[in-house]
Amino acid sequence: MISHLLRWGGSLLKKIRKWLLERHASGEYLPQSPMGQASTHVLKIWRNLCMYLRDGRIPIDNNLAENAIRPIALGRKNWIFLGDDLLPDNWQNQRDSKTS
């Protein structure tokens, strides 16, 4: 089952690469356009993109890493407001009057 998925994934990736190379060679997308930049980037990292096909230990996505850093990112956003409840209700008005 897994070998079938890897073969299918490999053939699909080959088609995508061929499509990208054709578009890149034909000049269909300007190099500075968003699609031109994206296709150039994908072609530069193509070997790394296909790494999961060569080594079955490498996951196809980075969900584990994303889930591991999510609490840090959420905490960072929440910590911005730490202590706001201790400020006077009119702290914004006081700040604005000092700057004008």
**Tokens 């990208």, located at residue:** 20
pTM exceeding the 0.75 threshold for the entire prediction: no
Measured in degrees and rounded to the nearest 5, phi and psi for residue 62 equal -115, 35
Q: Domain residues for 36? A: 2-99
Contact at 8 Å (CB) between 20 and 40? no
Q: Per-residue confidence of the chain (100 residues) as pLDDT tens digits?
A: 456 555 667 788 889 999 999 998 898 888 899 999 999 999 999 988 888 788 878 888 889 888 888 888 777 777 776 666 666 665 565 555 555 5
63 CB neighbour count, 10 Å cutoff: 9
Number of domains in the chain: 1
Tokens of 86: 């201790």
> Distance between CA atoms of 84 and 96, rounded to whole angstroms?
17
- Give the pLDDT score at 69: 85
For residue 57, the SS3 value is coil
